[in-house]
Structure 1
């Protein structure tokens, strides 16, 4: 497997912190794939399944819930439109499961 330092485009000049910020570490990449697969590559809010239009969204936000960053149960698939709408409504910090559930049922459905 070409992951991590074995990948041809691996950049050894980036720190682990920068890598975490960029969300390009192997566990995160796998988390995204697992979230998309579990949700059938479909937005859980509006049902959009257009390729290249999907985002793996953290239920509890990435910055404040470090221990759940790669927990599949802390992710859902949203289309870009629903993802932007969610963050426009609720911001990027302090996000909760309750906010997401209400959004899914009211905003993009």
Structure 2
């Protein structure tokens, strides 16, 4: 079978499967799954992020201390983790600054 005939056969097969789907009736709407998903508040999400950044900084500090004391020779790994922690902390500060500016803007809005 040549490639053109193969492509045509594949298209016919797909068209038949689509036709069979349309014969089954209308598509039923998806069930709402809000009851299955726990609702996380902004406070808990932000707290989790702060804890993750803190843990990352402690991990980087522990790796740096291990290199300083001679327990580890992985200087590159310690420096990479230190940079990751630094970038995470900087991003967290940027988010905090944006939230603070937004709150101040809302407070300045006249009623």
Q: Which has the higher strand share?
A: 1
Q: Which has the higher helix share?
A: 2
Higher RCO (CA-CA < 8 Å; seq separation 6+): 1
TM over 0.5: no
Q: Give TM-score, length-normalised by structure 1.
A: 0.21
